[in-house]
Amino acid sequence: MAQACPISMQQVNGKACQINALFTVVCLVVFLFTSAKWVLLPLAADLLIRAFLNPMFSPFNMASDALLRQCNVSPRMTNAGPKLFAAKLAFVFVVIMLLSRLAGYEGVAVFFAACLTFFASLEAAFSFCVACKAYPLVRKVFGSPS
């Protein structure tokens, strides 16, 4: 593991996290470039399950795992703590987008969607998790956000 992270003894498949991020990017691109604004609801539900309940029951995670199994891709295990933190932040971003949209502040929703699209694209393409890099600092400053 590239960075020492004493936050969680749990591990997740980093390759599945990349596919989850790709699913997130697809939802956000649909939100940004079509009139299908409802696409945020399944994304919010998935992030809620992944971040606060049990990631194993996340529809995106189940689809990612199935795809990786079907393609016989070996897992690349990584610490779960920062990934859960990233999912929690993404959930907050999506809630802000939904509330902004409902309140008529389309610009705010687009800003948060663009930011989240950028961050999720980094994870999907390069396995670079911005929230994971910030997580140790957040833990140091605020204690455990999990």
Q: Which tens digit of pLDDT belongs to each residue from 6-31?
A: 456 789 999 999 999 999 999 999 99
pLDDT digits (tens, 9 = 90+) for 80-137: 888 998 999 999 999 999 999 999 999 999 999 999 999 999 999 999 988 878 877 8
Chain center to CA of 87 = 4
Alpha helices in 40-105 (DSSP H): 40-48, 59-70, 80-103
pTM listed for this prediction? 0.87
Which pLDDT band holds residue 1 (cuts at 50, 70, 90)? very low
pLDDT digits (tens, 9 = 90+) for 90-102: 999 999 999 999 9
Phi and psi torsions of 138, nearest 5° = -60, -45
